[in-house]
Copies of this chain bind each other. A is one copy, B any other.
């Protein structure tokens, strides 16, 4: 990784943290320049526009999510163990230090749902891909015989997304000390229902 690429990554890490706290709309070249004590012209050289910066921030966050959540989970055995690894990594992600404002994707989802443009398109593509990943892992649970044959894996992915959104809500907004326990309990209920014939 060259020096320019290193700088770019450091900028994007800061941008992702900022987006998780104040929203993606708050991630502007001016604001980042202030926070990082860099010149605005230097940042422009890296990103060209606010829109490009926002898309790159989402891509950086998605790559971090792949590295920290998806890739490690794929090392677990197919089926239920892999699904559990995915969920465990997802919970850890939502609590990670870099995301001081909680999961950047959750914050961006309600922020961008009424806006059109490249940042929204990027987020939708990512979120669809992530739901497909969950569905694929759930499908390995069926083929391994852990889950019932008729399991609707897309519904399962949708429901697991709901478990994580409720977790974010309970932990970040309500500051509910039971948020973790509630999320685990909801996950176990989903898995139990996926097993049940």
Contact = CB atoms under 8 A, between A and B. Distances in A.
Contacts of A124: 173-174
Contacts of A106: 110
B173 A127 contact: yes
14 contacts: A100-B114, A101-B114, A102-B113, A109-B110, A112-B173, A114-B172, A128-B174, A155-B182, A155-B185, A159-B166, A162-B165, A162-B166, A165-B166, A193-B193
> A interface, how many residues as a size bin?
35 or more
Contacts of A100: 114
A162 B159 CA distance: 8
A94 to B, nearest CB: 12
Copies in the complex: 2
Nearest to A169: B109
Given A102-B110, A158-B170, A159-B186, 18 more contacts: A21-B114, A102-B113, A107-B110, A110-B110, A110-B111, A110-B172, A114-B172, A123-B173, A124-B173, A127-B174, A155-B185, A159-B166, A159-B189, A162-B167, A165-B165, A165-B166, A189-B193, A193-B193
A158 B186 contact: yes
A79 interface: no
Main secondary structure of the interface of A (DSSP, over half): helix
Interface string A176-191: 0000001001100100
Interface string A85-118: 0000000000000001110001101111110000
